[in-house]
Amino acid sequence: PKYVYEFAEGNKDLKDLLGGKGANLAEMTNLGLPVPPGFTITTDACRYYLENGRVPEGLDTEIDEKLAALEAAMGKRLGQADDPLLVSVRSGAKFSMPGMMETVLNIGLNDDSVRGLAAQAGNERFAWDSYRRLIQMFGKTVQGIDGELFEDAIDAIKQRKGTTDDLDLDAGDFKELVQTFKDIVAEHTGEGFPSDPREQMRQAIQAVFDSWNAPRAVLYRRQERIPSGLGTAVNVCSMVFGNLGMDSGTGVAFTRDPASGQQGVYGDYLQNAQGEDVVAGIRNTVPLADLERIDPASYRRLLDIMETLENHYRDLCDIEFTIERGRLWMLQTRVGKRTAAAAFRIANQLVDQGLITLDEAVGRVTGDQLAQLMFPRFDETAERTRLGRGMNASPGAAVGKAVFDSYTAIKWSRSGEDVILCRRETNPDDLEGMIAARGILTSRGGKTSHAAVVARGMGKTCVCGAEELDVDTKNRRLVAPGGQVIEEGDVISIDGTSGEVFLGEVPVVASPVVRYFEGEIDPASDSSDDLVRAVHRFMQYSDAARRMNVRANADNAEDAARARRMGAQGVGLCRTEHMFLGDRRQLVERLILADTDKEREESLAALLPLQRDDFIGIFEAMDGLPVTVRLLDPPLHEFLPDITELSVRVAVAESRGEKHENDLRLLQAVHRLHEQNPMLGLRGVRLGLVVPGLFTMQVRAIAQAAAERLRAGGRPCPEIMIPLVGTVQELEIIREESLRVLREVGEEYGVTLNYPVGTMIELPRAALTAGQIAENAEFFSFGTNDLTQTVWGFSRDDVEASFFSAYLEKGVFGVSPFESLDVDGVGRLIRIAVEEGRRARPGIKLGVCGEHGGDPASVHFFHEAGLDYVSCSPFRVPVARLESGRAAA
């Protein structure tokens, strides 16, 4: 096979073979853009090398041939003593893995050719600077020497000369550095720095191959779910020099602002420098617009090229370029990363410009991005003092008093204070404090740290790994790099979307996108933001394209109404347990404690009208749309007082000789109902079967509410849903009772109440026997939260806070299965149940309720699996609408 491609032989669609960088270098070459000539060694070669521990037969010959052609074209040989050709050896995989693999510049220099280079360029300093860069990069990347050793040597010279600027170093200094660097290499390798140019190249290529399996690259791929077998390509590219003087330089550019999406000139430029200096931040770059003044001809050429690239790729591109003595060279381009707002604006602009279709545009924005746009945000027009910045671990804007331990967080929040929990890092002991806090700030740990994982799971704002902030928990204070000291109780604001931390209270504003969904902003009006117009356009498109309906989880009329404004087409999950809380707890206690049928019936009778009125409100808010009501699910002990508190109360009363009959009965009930593992205990349909009258009361409340709505001229569409069914027999009993109650109430009111009764599929057994269950279920709703718990044997409440961060860090999974559906395991059960359910009862309605209903990746799976609808929290409804449309488009 062919292992080496000249740039001109490739194109942008060959990313599998040539990697992203190589494919795009080829594309630019063929567009006639000024790319320094070179060639790409394929990922095939890399894979062969990794599997066999040696490069494939013929690779070296092929490289020699391509190198010879390159030398002929350039009119000089690699490392030629009097006029050397120099090359860079650059890694480049199919998916960009930022900072994971490396590049070596200036290959071909040695003690002889450095003089040739100096003579040709008429610039000693440049030649020796290039040489020391080679030894430094080669030593670090290829020979595995700690980079700090080289940095320290540079710093030592700078210190001696009393400067911090590289530009103050002269040819003599670099000559000295070359010697020092060689000594470092010799000391650490025994072999020293190889002076043979072809040998330098050979080793650099192998080092790039090897870097594919470096531990950090392996971990990165595992977390990002990038297949480990892809391998990387290697690009060999003739050098151009930005470090030849002030008429040379290097920079990065974007064809549009990757932050806002606005058109304009964005980027950074650095005179007299080589590529990596721009990113390394050792010297201050100037805004790209300044290039117009520094080198107007190159600037105009660059803008032309940017336009060409954008029209060609039909998207925002980012670019690396170098100017060598007034001549512009393109070193890299790719379709660039962007913020959520930029993604929506750019896709919309490109449709307006006629560059892409609306269909393509919707393919380029994601539900995750839409979700980001919906978080409340800090008012950017307000005056803000930034204390520092960390990682944007969990989006949102939170304001509160800084506290430094969980205990204080809990105590203060109980007394009504908003707090931000500041920790160096969090651990499972901090859980309660995290729940109590408005937001969480840590100075250590990345996006898979405990704080980040748990905060995202709770939907709580979190900035993590803000290393520049010194969180001093012992002295209960936080010190910012600017010297500001935040004591316990001082107010701070944290922005989980940008990772910024501010002093004091920054005012929060609702996102314009949410105001649009709420109907407060008219997208057609001139004053509306172009972001809102983009969102509106894409939502309309998705709504027309999607096959699945989107419903919301709502337990009261207010949420139902809100969900409907957000575009929900019904309620997919109305949890009735929330109707048992508050003042009604007393009634539920009475029900649980009832000794006689009469007592029980009385307490049920008292609950009935309350439930009925709740349902009336919800049916009214969702008039004409289905409302799936789930009968009581949680174990009864959840409605009783806490066992410890109650025991103390009883003990105190006893010692004082006070009356405590009621508490004593309660305590006995708590003991009776206590379960080791309530998640797998007496709950769901099991309650319906063992607590006489409970489910029939609930069905009666639903039936009466529907009858009342019908009387009032409404169109109620309830669906009765039985939770936690494991076998069809359970369902059959409850279903018959339910149908009887519907008939009875219908007769009482003189109306026909013909409503579907169905079940949740949330136990593996239910999924596996879905064919049997479907005989007695008019619909299935996959309860993916419980199904995930029972399939994995994870108790969500326990594992997320305890070991999930470790699992994520080790790459056991890339994302929590509670956040994004486990397609291989849980998804397989869903497919089985869909197929068998449909076979047993063609036309059975299939939906999903649970957090996954609003998760973009999961929504795509549900679409593919053939579900009729997804149901999610009201706030996620737009996300599910967009993603269902994207899945169908």
Q: Which CB, 19 or 79, lies closer to Mg ion?
A: 19
Q: Which stretch in 549-557, 784-792, 801-809, 825-833 sits in contact with Mg ion by CB under 5 A?
A: 784-792
Q: Does 850 bind Mg ion (CB under 5 A)?
A: no
Residue of 450, 536, 637, 863 marked catalytic: 450
d(CA 108, CA 86): 5
Catalytic (active site) residue 464: no
Q: Does 786 bind Mg ion (CB under 5 A)?
A: yes
Q: Which stretch in 124-132, 238-246, 380-388, 415-423 sits in contact with ligand ADP by CB under 6 A?
A: 238-246
What sign does the dihedral 384-389-390-392 (CA atoms) show? positive
Q: Which residues pair with 423 in a beta bridge?
A: 442
Element (H, E) at 614: helix 597-621
CA distances from 729 to 689, 716, 767 (A): 11, 29, 15
- Count of residues that bind Mg ion according to CB under 5 A: 5
The CB density around residue 680, as the number of other CB atoms within 10 Å, is: 15
Q: Which stretch in 319-327, 340-348, 380-388, 696-704 sits in contact with Mg ion by CB under 5 A?
A: 319-327
Residue 786's binding partner among Mg ion, ligand ADP, none (Cβ under 5 to 8 angstroms by kind) is Mg ion
Q: Which CB, 306 or 387, lies closer to ligand ADP?
A: 306
Considering only 28, 207, 316, 331, the residue that binds ligand ADP (CB under 6 A) is 331
Q: Does 19 bind ligand ADP (CB under 6 A)?
A: no
Residue 783's binding partner among Mg ion, ligand ADP, none (Cβ under 5 to 8 angstroms by kind) is Mg ion
d(CA 341, CA 374): 10
Residue type present at position 648:
V
Q: Which CB, 323 or 521, lies closer to ligand ADP?
A: 323
Q: Does 251 bind ligand ADP (CB under 6 A)?
A: no
Q: Does 275 bind ligand ADP (CB under 6 A)?
A: yes
Q: Which CB, 310 or 762, lies closer to Mg ion?
A: 762
Residue 276's binding partner among ligand ADP, Mg ion, none (Cβ under 5 to 8 angstroms by kind) is ligand ADP
Considering only 10, 36, 197, 758, the residue that binds ligand ADP (CB under 6 A) is 36
Residue 275's binding partner among Mg ion, ligand ADP, none (Cβ under 5 to 8 angstroms by kind) is ligand ADP
What the block records as the tokens of 724 is 């936690």
CA distances from 530 to 220, 521, 887 (A): 36, 12, 25
CB 886 within 8 A of CB 542: yes
CA distances from 64 to 86, 198, 306 (A): 15, 9, 34
Q: Which stretch in 236-244, 487-495, 771-779, 833-841 sits in contact with ligand ADP by CB under 6 A?
A: 236-244
d(CA 834, CA 297): 64
Considering only 55, 78, 105, 667, the residue that binds ligand ADP (CB under 6 A) is 105
Residue 366's binding partner among ligand ADP, Mg ion, none (Cβ under 5 to 8 angstroms by kind) is none
CB 166 within 8 A of CB 160: no
* End-to-end alpha carbon distance in the chain: 38
Give the relative orientation of helices 113-121 and 124-137 as an angle to the nearest 10 degrees: 140
Q: Does 237 bind ligand ADP (CB under 6 A)?
A: yes
Q: Which CB, 786 or 800, lies closer to Mg ion?
A: 786
Residue 614's binding partner among ligand ADP, Mg ion, none (Cβ under 5 to 8 angstroms by kind) is none
d(CA 432, CA 440): 12
Least distance from ligand ADP to the Cβ atom of residue 247, Å: 16
Q: Which stretch in 162-170, 233-241, 493-501, 577-585 sits in contact with ligand ADP by CB under 6 A?
A: 233-241
DSSP 163: -
Q: Which stretch in 232-240, 470-478, 494-502, 563-571 sits in contact with ligand ADP by CB under 6 A?
A: 232-240
DSSP string, 759-810: EEE-SHHHHHTHHHHHTT-SEEEEEHHHHHHHHHT--HHHHHHHTHHHHHHT
Considering only 322, 498, 628, 790, the residue that binds ligand ADP (CB under 6 A) is 322
Q: Does 332 bind ligand ADP (CB under 6 A)?
A: yes
The CB density around residue 162, as the number of other CB atoms within 10 Å, is: 7
Considering only 29, 106, 332, 884, the residue that binds Mg ion (CB under 5 A) is 332
Q: Which stretch in 234-242, 494-502, 506-514, 841-849 sits in contact with ligand ADP by CB under 6 A?
A: 234-242
For 658, the 3-state DSSP assignment is coil
CB 705 within 8 A of CB 746: no
Least distance from Mg ion to the Cβ atom of residue 783, Å: 4
Q: Does 10 bind ligand ADP (CB under 6 A)?
A: no
Q: Does 783 bind Mg ion (CB under 5 A)?
A: yes
The CB density around residue 519, as the number of other CB atoms within 10 Å, is: 9
Q: If 0-12 CB within 10 Å is exposed, 13-18 middle and 19+ buried, where does residue 831 land?
A: middle
Q: Which of residues 167-196 bind ligand ADP (CB under 6 A)?
A: none
DSSP 139: I
- Count of residues that bind ligand ADP according to CB under 6 A: 15
Q: Which residues pair with 234 in a beta bridge?
A: 41, 91
CB 716 within 8 A of CB 705: yes
Q: Does 88 bind ligand ADP (CB under 6 A)?
A: yes
Q: Which CB, 273 or 821, lies closer to ligand ADP?
A: 273
CB 763 within 8 A of CB 724: yes
Q: Which CB, 239 or 398, lies closer to ligand ADP?
A: 239
d(CA 868, CA 882): 15
Q: What are φ and ψ of residue 401, in 5° steps?
A: -80, 135
For 237, the 3-state DSSP assignment is strand
Least distance from ligand ADP to the Cβ atom of residue 252, Å: 8
Catalytic (active site) residue 450: yes
Q: Does 576 bind ligand ADP (CB under 6 A)?
A: no
Q: Which stretch in 586-594, 762-770, 810-818, 852-860 sits in contact with Mg ion by CB under 5 A?
A: 762-770
Q: Which CB, 235 or 628, lies closer to ligand ADP?
A: 235
Least distance from ligand ADP to the Cβ atom of residue 321, Å: 8
CB 253 within 8 A of CB 319: yes
CB 532 within 8 A of CB 518: no
Q: Which CB, 88 or 461, lies closer to ligand ADP?
A: 88
d(CA 19, CA 14): 7
x/- track of binding to ligand ADP for residues 281-320 (CB under 6 A): ---------------------------------------x
Q: Which CB, 108 or 512, lies closer to ligand ADP?
A: 108
> Look-up: residue for tokens 């994520």?
808
Query: With left for phi above 0 and alpha for psi between -120 and 50, is residue 616 left, alpha or beta?
Result: alpha
Residue 36's binding partner among Mg ion, ligand ADP, none (Cβ under 5 to 8 angstroms by kind) is ligand ADP
Residue type present at position 95:
F
Name the residue number minimizing CB distance to ligand ADP.
Answer: 275
CB 758 within 8 A of CB 722: yes
Considering only 29, 40, 42, 103, the residue that binds ligand ADP (CB under 6 A) is 103
Considering only 277, 318, 762, 800, the residue that binds Mg ion (CB under 5 A) is 762
Least distance from ligand ADP to the Cβ atom of residue 226, Å: 16
Q: Which CB, 708 or 786, lies closer to Mg ion?
A: 786
Contacts of 542 (CB under 8 A, 6+ apart): 362, 881, 882, 883, 884, 885, 886, 889
Q: Which of 611, 638, 608 is nearest to 555 (CA)?
A: 611
Give the relative orientation of helices 197-211 and 59-74 as an angle to the nearest 10 degrees: 120
Residue of 237, 574, 849, 872 marked catalytic: 849
Q: Does 240 bind ligand ADP (CB under 6 A)?
A: yes
Residue type present at position 860:
H
Binding site for ligand ADP (CB under 6 A): 36, 88, 90, 103, 105, 237-240, 275-276, 320, 322, 331-332
Binding site for Mg ion (CB under 5 A): 320, 332, 762, 783, 786
Enumerate the active-site residues.
Answer: 450, 849
